[in-house]
Chains A and B, each alone.
Chain A
Amino acid sequence: MGMTIVEKILARASDQPFVKAGDVVEAKVDLAMSHENAALVINQFHDVYKGTGIDANVWDPSKIAIILDHRVPAESAKTATNQKKVREFVAKQGIKKFHDIRGDEGGICHQILPENGYVRPGYLVVGTDSHTTTHGALGAFAFGIGATDMAAVWTLGSVLNVEVPATIKVIITGKFQPHVSPKDLILHIIGRISAEGANFKVIEFHGETIRHMNTSGRLVLCNMSVEAGATSGIVPADKETVRYLMGHAGVTDEIEIMQPDADAEYDQIVEVDITRLTPQIACPHTVDNVIPIYSTEGKKVHQIVVGSCTNGRIDDLEIAAKTLKGRRIAKDVRMLVFPASWRIYKEALKKGYISSLIDAGAVVMNPGCGCCLGVHEGALGDGEVALSTTNRNFKGRMGNPGAEVYLCSPAVAAASAITGFITDPRNGEIS
């Protein structure tokens, strides 16, 4: 019997020739990522060492990445003090993969890791953020853990007591229709298998559609796999992975490509043909409440959001900018755009996307998590409706439990910004 990708990664990380779903292993970590919540990890980390007489030093500073992104620049004294505490810890421990609130290196953690080449195929990556699943797009096994789990990783360099997850193989075939994108595909899959359909399991993406999809699209699929409950999503590495890492992420050393065995055992096999896939919308207040766009077309929206770790990359901004170029967003709509990193922001500036967006009436915010999680800026008023390219629409997500969040692709967001209503981008007048 062969192994899935994740079984192979966990076998290697636990120094065993073979593991299978259900086994319990202690696995060595290749990269451990945190953001502002490193402040809590630091507390828990010091708590572990309390009374032992052992100096509290992390197991390997070169394998820790910390990115300040959730509330940047700080919105309160409390956040600023947490960020200060993180900076002091980073300096003391000699952590180099630290990305502060700076235009030359900052951004959202799930964009910073890939674009700096920190994640490689076959890596075991953990992060104190549920969307750590994103990094499966590069052929790594990447999953979210809590702050106390991370304190244990910083101490011992391994994740203790990992149960090897079962894998769902999703095979995707067909070509996207114009204005339909990976975001529509993952919303469709989540709607189909439900918000807990992949709970405690991994989704392994295969098929001709994936082979032709660039890394940006794969990041979208893996980012949102967690919204189906998955421990992680993963795209086995291929030529495209090498192209991205060497061409965009500055990797110069050899990249190992790991594939699942042909006789690997899967929990389920799901086949999806995207030939007829239309733009999809996730309605409030769960991500699996997905319907095709025609069922909700014409719904009035007050705030349009383009950005986040899901859809804040250059191709997403390109769609928004090209749709809005020379046009104005509807009078009674606010449009907020936050690029996923400053590198992307600068590229968008060079390509003229930022001025197209501003001229159309959009507000371009600094890279970071912005309004995605409702703590910082861009909150909604009572009874207001947001249409957003982010990944969650839970009650209260954008800072107000009395408001509604609909999720969509950048193409739908941009088309709807022009009209002020949920609008199908395939509508001739808009596109």
Chain B
Amino acid sequence: MKVVIKLEDDVSTDAIYPGRFMATVLPNETPQFAFADHSEFNSKLKRHEIPAGSFMIAGKNFGCGSSREQAASCLRGYELVVIAKSFGRIFMQNAINLGLRVIVCPTLEAAEGDELEIENEFVVNKTNHKYFPIEPLPKARQAIMDAGGLIPYTRKKLIEKHAARPH
């Protein structure tokens, strides 16, 4: 899939999902405001010109700032894949919890329009024919990914806990 946008370092959750849309919370309603102040990208997303599975690439500290989960759910809605040199902690957790695919790749060299592929532990840039190693996500979160997100994971724990309780 193609790189559809290349962003700088320190892209905050205010840029991904501006605070003035925070009253909108439902995952099926948040995508319309993804990168609302980046009007060109926002309109492409809304017109569904960006296919699911497309890559957004960013520098360091993508998703820094607020804990607003809308910043992850709005991108999840378009099924984008985010590759960054590093991520803000809460954003990364929210992404994993909601099933938004995030990839940490500190050395990636790519431009908008490049064709990328994920092969095992590497991001492969088909355009410049280079391989870039992927850093593993925090091990604490693996179980959540395996369960398909935090809601099914918690539901499973809840059922176990309930069954263990004396009636």
Q: Which residues in A have some Cβ–Cβ distance to B below 8 Å?
A: 24, 36-37, 39-40, 43-44, 47-52, 54, 70-71, 76, 78-79, 82, 127-130, 132, 144-149, 151-152, 155-156, 160-163, 195-196, 199-200, 229, 231, 286, 373-375, 392, 394-397, 399, 401
Annotate B1-39 by CB proximity to A: 1 below 8 A, 0 otherwise.
000000000101011001110111110000000000100
Identify 13 residue pairs between A and B in the complex whose beta-carbon atoms are under 8 Å apart, listed by A's number. Answer: A37-B22, A43-B26, A52-B158, A71-B23, A82-B23, A144-B90, A145-B93, A146-B93, A160-B154, A195-B10, A374-B20, A397-B14, A401-B37
Best-buried of A78, A146, A374, A397 by chain B (most CB within 10 Å)? A146
Task: Say whether B150 contacts A399, CB under 8 Å.
Answer: no
Instruction: Please pick, from B86, B97, B138, the residue contacting A148 in the complex, using a CB distance under 8 A.
Output: B97
Q: With a CB–CB cut-off of 8 A, which chain A residues contact B158? A: 48-49, 52, 54, 155-156
Asked if B74 CB lies within 8 Å of chain A CBs, one says: no
Task: Say whether A396 contacts B14, CB under 8 Å.
Answer: yes
Asked if B47 CB lies within 8 Å of chain A CBs, one says: no
Which residue of chain A has the shortest Cβ distance to B19 in the bound complex? A373
Instruction: Enumerate B26-75 residues with CB–CB distance to A below 8 Å.
Output: 26, 37, 60-61, 64-69, 72
Instruction: Please pick, from B90, B138, B157, the residue contacting A145 in the complex, using a CB distance under 8 A.
Output: B90
Output the least CB separation between B35 and chain A (Å).
11
Instruction: Please pick, from B18, B60, B138, the residue contacting A196 in the complex, using a CB distance under 8 A.
Output: B60
Task: Say whether A375 contacts B20, CB under 8 Å.
Answer: yes
Task: Say whether A163 contacts B138, CB under 8 Å.
Answer: yes
Task: Say whether B94 contacts A148, CB under 8 Å.
Answer: yes
User: How many inter-chain residue pairs (CB < 8 Å) link A and B?
Assistant: 154
Output the least CB separation between B102 and chain A (Å).
13
Q: Which residues in B have some Cβ–Cβ distance to A below 8 Å?
A: 10, 12, 14-15, 18-20, 22-26, 37, 60-61, 64-69, 72, 86, 88-90, 93-94, 97-98, 138-141, 143-144, 149-151, 153-155, 157-159, 161-162
Q: With a CB–CB cut-off of 8 A, which chain A residues contact B150? A: 148-149, 151-152
For the complex of A and B, the 7 pairs showing the least CB-CB separation, nearest first, are A146-B94, A40-B25, A161-B140, A196-B61, A394-B12, A163-B140, A373-B19
* With known contacts A24-B139, A48-B151, A163-B139, A39–B162 Cβ distance under 8 A: no
Q: With a CB–CB cut-off of 8 A, which chain A residues contact B144? A: 160-161
Instruction: Please pick, from B22, B61, B159, the residue contacting A375 in the complex, using a CB distance under 8 A.
Output: B22
Task: Say whether A229 contacts B89, CB under 8 Å.
Answer: yes
Q: With a CB–CB cut-off of 8 A, which chain B residues contact A375? A: 19-20, 22-23
Which residue of chain B has the shortest Cβ distance to A398 in the bound complex? B19
* With known contacts A144-B90, A162-B140, A48–B155 Cβ distance under 8 A: yes
Output the least CB separation between B92 and chain A (Å).
9
Which residue of chain A has the shortest Cβ distance to B90 in the bound complex? A144
Which residue of chain A has the shortest Cβ distance to B14 in the bound complex? A394
Q: With a CB–CB cut-off of 8 A, which chain A residues contact B157? A: 152, 155-156, 160
Instruction: Please pick, from A127, A128, A148, A200, the residue contacting B151 in the complex, using a CB distance under 8 A.
Output: A148
Complex Cα spacing A161 to B149, Å: 13
Task: Identify 4 new A-B residue pairs, CB closer than 8 A, beyond the known A49-B158, A76-B23, A146-B72.
Answer: A129-B66, A145-B67, A148-B151, A160-B144
Q: With a CB–CB cut-off of 8 A, which chain B residues contact A286? A: 10
Output the least CB separation between A376 and chain B (Å).
9
Q: With a CB–CB cut-off of 8 A, which chain B residues contact A399? A: 19-20
Q: With a CB–CB cut-off of 8 A, which chain B residues contact A394? A: 12, 14-15, 65
Complex Cα spacing A128 to B93, Å: 12
Q: With a CB–CB cut-off of 8 A, which chain B residues contact A374? A: 14, 18-20
Complex Cα spacing A49 to B24, Å: 23
Q: With a CB–CB cut-off of 8 A, which chain A residues contact B24? A: 78
Which residue of chain B has the shortest Cβ distance to A74 in the bound complex? B23
Q: With a CB–CB cut-off of 8 A, which chain A residues contact B139? A: 24, 163
Complex Cα spacing A374 to B153, Å: 35
Complex Cα spacing A155 to B159, Å: 11
Output the least CB separation between B20 and chain A (Å).
5
Output the least CB separation between B108 and chain A (Å).
17
Complex Cα spacing A146 to B67, Å: 6
Q: With a CB–CB cut-off of 8 A, which chain B residues contact A54? A: 158-159, 162
Task: Say whether B65 contacts A130, CB under 8 Å.
Answer: yes
Complex Cα spacing A375 to B66, Å: 14
Complex Cα spacing A102 to B22, Å: 22
Task: Say whether A146 contacts B69, CB under 8 Å.
Answer: yes
* With known contacts A148-B94, A156-B157, A199-B89, A37–B10 Cβ distance under 8 A: no
Output the least CB separation between A238 and chain B (Å).
28
Task: Say whether A392 contacts B14, CB under 8 Å.
Answer: yes
Output the least CB separation between A217 and chain B (Å).
24
Task: Say whether A229 contacts B140, CB under 8 Å.
Answer: no
